[in-house]
Amino acid sequence: MTTHVRCGTLFTGDATPPRAEATIGFGDDGKIVFVSDTAAAPPIAVADTVLDYAGLFVMPGLIDVHTHLAYGNAKSEEDIDLYQPMEFRALRALFFAQKVVAAGYTALCAPGDAGQVSLSVRNAINFGLFEGPRVTAAGRYLTTRQGLTDWYPTWIGVPDTSIGRLVTSKDEAIEEIRVQVKNGVDCIKLAMDGVQTREDGSLIAAFDQDETSTMVREAHRLGRKVVAHAVGKEATLYAAKAGVDLIFHAYYLDDECIDAMLKSGSAIGPTLTLQRNVIDFTQPHEPAYIKERPSATARTYEIGCANLQKARKAGVPMLTGTDSGFAVTPYGEWHALELELFVRDLGFSPAEVLRCATSVNARFMANGGRIGVLETGRFADFIAVDGSPLENIAILQEKSRIRHVHIGGKRMQIPERGYDPRQVTDKSLSNWTDLYTQQRVRELYPARRHLAAAE
Ligand SMILES: [Zn+2]
At residue 69, the pLDDT reads 98
Distance in Å, CA 321 to ligand 1 centroid: 9
Residue 452 has pLDDT above 60, yes or no: no
Distance in Å, CA 334 to ligand 1 centroid: 14
Mean pLDDT for 90-104 is 97
Put simply, whether the predicted model's pTM sits higher than 0.75 gets the answer: yes
Distance in Å, CA 326 to ligand 1 centroid: 9
Distance in Å, CA 370 to ligand 1 centroid: 25
pLDDT digits (tens, 9 = 90+) for 55-68: 999 999 999 999 99
Distance in Å, CA 228 to ligand 1 centroid: 9
Residue 451 has pLDDT above 60, yes or no: no
Distance in Å, CA 272 to ligand 1 centroid: 11
- Give the pLDDT band (50/70/90) at residue 440: confident
Can you tell me the distance from the alpha carbon of 318 to that of 444, in angstroms, rounded to the nearest whole number? 48
Distance in Å, CA 141 to ligand 1 centroid: 10
Do 358 and 372 meet the contact criterion of CB atoms below 8 Å apart?
yes
pLDDT digits (tens, 9 = 90+) for 238-283: 999 999 999 999 999 999 999 999 999 999 999 999 999 999 999 9
Can you tell me the distance from the alpha carbon of 404 to that of 422, in angstroms, rounded to the nearest whole number? 31
pLDDT digits (tens, 9 = 90+) for 170-187: 999 999 999 999 999 999
Distance in Å, CA 112 to ligand 1 centroid: 7
Distance in Å, CA 191 to ligand 1 centroid: 10
**Burial readout 258-268 (b: 16 or more C-beta within 10 A, e: otherwise):** bebbeeeebbb
Distance in Å, CA 338 to ligand 1 centroid: 14
Among the listed residues 316, 303, 387, the one whose alpha carbon sits nearest the alpha carbon of residue 345: 303
Distance in Å, CA 432 to ligand 1 centroid: 27
Do 206 and 192 meet the contact criterion of CB atoms below 8 Å apart?
yes
Distance in Å, CA 96 to ligand 1 centroid: 16
- Give the pLDDT band (50/70/90) at residue 429: confident
Among the listed residues 66, 111, 72, the one whose alpha carbon sits nearest the alpha carbon of residue 327: 72
**Which one-letter DSSP state was computed for residue 204?**
P
pLDDT digits (tens, 9 = 90+) for 131-156: 999 999 999 999 999 999 999 999 99
Residue 407 has pLDDT above 80, yes or no: yes
Distance in Å, CA 111 to ligand 1 centroid: 7
Task: Output the average pLDDT for the chain.
Answer: 95
| Residue 54 CB coordination number (10 Å) | 16
Distance in Å, CA 250 to ligand 1 centroid: 12
Can you tell me the distance from the alpha carbon of 359 to that of 141, in angstroms, rounded to the nearest whole number? 26
Distance in Å, CA 126 to ligand 1 centroid: 23
What contacts 199, CB < 8 A, 6 or more positions away?
A: none
Distance in Å, CA 68 to ligand 1 centroid: 7
Phi, psi dihedrals of residue 182, rounded to the nearest 5°: -60, -35
Residue 441 has pLDDT above 70, yes or no: yes
Distance in Å, CA 150 to ligand 1 centroid: 14
At residue 195, the pLDDT reads 81
Distance in Å, CA 166 to ligand 1 centroid: 17
pLDDT digits (tens, 9 = 90+) for 283-325: 998 899 999 999 999 999 999 999 999 999 999 999 999 999 9
Q: What is the dihedral of CA 275, 281, 286, 290, to 10 degrees?
A: 60
Distance in Å, CA 263 to ligand 1 centroid: 25
- Long-range CB contact pairs, 157-164, < 8 A, 24+: 159/81, 159/82, 161/81, 161/82, 161/86, 161/114, 161/115, 162/80, 162/81, 162/82, 162/114, 163/68, 163/70, 163/71, 163/80, 163/81, 163/112, 163/113, 163/114, 164/140, 164/191
At residue 449, the pLDDT reads 65
Mean pLDDT for 76-101 is 96
Number of H helices, E strands in the chain: 16, 16
pLDDT digits (tens, 9 = 90+) for 193-227: 998 999 999 999 999 999 999 999 999 999 999 99
Residue 450 has pLDDT above 70, yes or no: no
Distance in Å, CA 66 to ligand 1 centroid: 6
